[in-house]
Structure 1
């Protein structure tokens, strides 16, 4: 085959793997339950907001609060 043939074979195999990965991605996207996805995103956003709130309150504390 030679060097060029080998590189073409490697490139073809790589493209096949990309095709498989893209088909799996599309399948996950198309099969996603939209309501469940939105609900999960809202839960994550609420958790993030709560973490930000706690972080803000903790950063307001100083050593003087404990004296």
Structure 2
């Protein structure tokens, strides 16, 4: 998966929760053990961070976008 820009931003709260935003809007809050693992993996500042954040949001680029626009019969 390639990104032309960096659409996702994140913030780690004092409680350890990871707040993931896209275009200034909160998309998801990751909590607990998943947040600790994500926070430990983040911080490289490169495209791998964007991929981790995209995966953490859940429903992002499943690979079927091309089928959605085609006419299926």
Give the alignment's TM-score, normalised by structure 1.
Answer: 0.25
**Structure in which a larger fraction of residues adopt helix:** 1
Larger radius of gyration: 1
Structure with higher RCO (Cα < 8 A, 6+ apart)? 2
